Structure 1
Amino acid sequence: MAITDEALWHAETRLWLEGAPAYRELVSGDAVMTLPEVGILDGAQATEGASGWQDAQLTERRLVRSDKDVIAIAYRGDAKRTDGSAYSAYCASTYHAVGGDWQLIQHSQTVID
């Protein structure tokens, strides 16, 4: 099933803002993630620890469709934690169509100082 660019960016933003509920819906259990504060996780581990951010802006967006079932995105994420502290990172995610649904299968972040 095709997904629009807008819908994909909306899904990625949901992961930042909604935390675990969005992770359960959108992240493959065997996804691989590299996160600066916690290291390498699979999708199930990331879902367990996922909490939403107070605010998140995804800018400098890039998107490439390698074929009809795989989409890679890269962007700058600027977010605010619920305690008000700021976080900025360059991020990359890969989505794969599985049975008509799009699931995140890879995500990485590089902190911007």
Structure 2
Amino acid sequence: MDDERVWSFEKSLWTGDEENYRKLIDDECLMVLPHPPFVMSGAQAVAAVAGTPRWAEAELSKGQIARPQEGLIVIAYQAKASREDERYEAYCTSTYRRLSHEEWRVVQHQQTLPAAIAGVVEKR
């Protein structure tokens, strides 16, 4: 998957509908999010998205992509998302694995709020 497709794929997870999310999240995926229950399986994440309004806008910046081996992509980036009167910002990582030629699934996703990072930096 080329870089442009990677970022399009990731952005679709923020703004796409529930069906898109269900199609792209692997059943074996593990996620860590900054709100309860904090740690989720792929199935739990899909269920949570089913009851949550999708983001109307998402800007992904400061992106980095690594390809540590064939069929594995790891990305890191800053996300800024919005919907109606709600704004959200987080630093994120995702890991994709290839199932077949052009079929990829998310197997790991993590979000860290900027305030959590600032707290760590201030303590040093």
TM-score (norm 2): 0.84
- Runs of 4+ in structure 1 off by over 6 angstroms are none
Q: What is the aligned partner in structure 1 of residue 88 from structure 2?
A: 87
Deviation (angstroms), 1:46: 0.5
Q: What is the aligned partner in structure 1 of residue 118 from structure 2?
A: none
Aligned length: 110
Deviation (angstroms), 1:72: 0.2
Unaligned runs of 5+ in 2: 116-124
Secondary structure of the 1:63 match is strand
Q: What is the aligned partner in structure 1 of residue 28 from structure 2?
A: 30
Q: What is the aligned partner in structure 1 of residue 65 from structure 2?
A: 63
Q: What are the within-5 Å matches in structure 2 for residues 2-41 of structure 1? A: 3-38=1-36, 39-41=38-40
Secondary structure of the 2:92 match is strand
Q: What is the aligned partner in structure 1 of residue 108 from structure 2?
A: 106
Matched, 1:97 2:98: yes
Q: What is the aligned partner in structure 2 of residue 54 from structure 1?
A: 56
Q: Percent identity?
A: 34
Secondary structure of the 1:37 match is coil
Between Structure 1 and Structure 2, the one with more helix by share is 2
TM-score (norm 1): 0.91
Unaligned runs of 5+ in 1: none
CA root-mean-square deviation: 1.2
Deviation (angstroms), 1:99: 2.5
Secondary structure of the 1:36 match is coil
Secondary structure of the 1:76 match is strand
Over alpha carbons, which structure has the higher Rg?
Answer: 2
Secondary structure of the 1:11 match is helix
**In the aligned structure 1, how far is the partner of 2:98 from the partner of 2:58?**
25
Deviates more, 1:36-45 or 1:56-65: 36-45
The answer to whether the 8 A contact 1:56-1:79 is kept is yes
Deviation (angstroms), 1:83: 3.6
Deviates more, 1:20-29 or 1:5-14: 20-29
